[in-house]
Amino acid sequence: MKIGLKILTVVVVALLAGGCGSSDKGGEDESNYDGWVLTEWKGGDALAGTVYLQLGEDGTFTLYQSIKTFGYAKYTGTYTISAVPEAGQVLSGTYTDGTPLDNTYVVEKMTKKELRLRAQKDGIVSVYSGVTIPALVKDGITGKSLRMTVETKAFL
């Protein structure tokens, strides 16, 4: 009887301990996310490099990208998301220097965890995962004088 009681006690304690665990499987607090990182492009992994995107509630965007460069190039501008019949929500915008975004994008999904954009010109899908953009990216070395190429403009 004592052995059965000890086993039952161990089982109950194990069940209670397991029930008290966090329901957050990823271990990250989504409420701290301030942007997204490009994780998939053209149906595969992102290019050899890193692209971060922030969309401000005030209609501004910041794009940090490190593709074939040292550090991060920082690009800023304004954006709008408009309802377009037959397309849904469409993101368009202009860089600070007045250059329009290379494309307009159908917003297929937009949550703190994921942003899916489909380019209207060629249908390329960009998938971004929610992140807290590291301070070293925001405040670190940037290639401010770098010019975007056709290849890098495709991300936004």
Q: Which two tokens stand for residue 62?
A: 């910041």
Distances (CA, A) of 82 to 88, 106, 120: 8, 10, 14
Q: What is the pLDDT of residue 46?
A: 58
Q: What is the pLDDT of residue 10?
A: 29
Whether the CB-CB separation of 132 and 32 falls below 8 Å is answered with yes
Nearest CA-CA partner of 99 in 56, 155, 148, 62: 148
The answer to pTM > 0.85 is: no
Amino acid, single-letter form, for residue 33: Y
Contacts of 102 (CB under 8 A, 6+ apart): 150, 153, 154, 156
Q: What is the pLDDT of residue 140?
A: 66
Q: What is the pLDDT of residue 151?
A: 45
d(Cα 89, Cα 72) in Å, to the nearest integer? 29
List, run by run, the mean pLDDT of 10-residue segments along the chain (156 residues).
32 33 53 91 77 95 88 93 90 96 94 95 93 88 49 52
* Paired strand residues for 25: none
Contacts of 100 (CB under 8 A, 6+ apart): 92, 93, 94
